[in-house]
Amino acid sequence: MAFDGTWKVNQNENYDNFMEKMGINMVKRKLAAHDNLKLVITQEGNRFTVKESSNFRTIDIVFELGTAFAYSLADGTELSGTWSLEGNKLVGRFKRVDNGKELNTVREITGDELIQTYTYEGVEAKRIFKKE
């Protein structure tokens, strides 16, 4: 599948503003901007396993398309929601547990890059990963 592989973060666009909107303090934002995040994605049918490893944590996330699950961001923000496949994009629709506000994420492959776009309260950010 197109998403399968190891992806290392290469570039951030508007990521600091996005994290600020999410309520993440300045120290954590500065650290997160240089977290060396790596994603290892494997897909088996509708089931995805994503191993996230960074300077701060390593976590395995397992989900099935269209099935709700809970997830915590590196800063501790708890989310609940689903991933779906829409064309060639993985689309995540999540709600924060603490305030009910939506956090949407889109993952798409363009050439040898995985572009992950986040949208929260009108602020959009991108993290661009290169395939290893």
Q: From residue 83, give the alpha-carbon distance in Å to each of 19, 22, 25, 104, 105.
A: 21, 20, 27, 10, 9
Compute the residue count for the chain. 132
- Alpha helices of the chain — where are they, by DSSP H? 15-21, 26-32
Give the type of residue at 40: V
Q: Is the pTM of this model over 0.85?
A: yes
Distance CA 120, CA 78 (A): 14
- pLDDT in 10s for each residue of the chain, 132 residues: 689 999 999 999 999 999 999 999 999 898 888 899 999 999 999 999 999 999 889 999 999 999 999 999 988 899 999 999 999 999 999 999 999 999 999 999 999 999 999 999 999 999 999 999
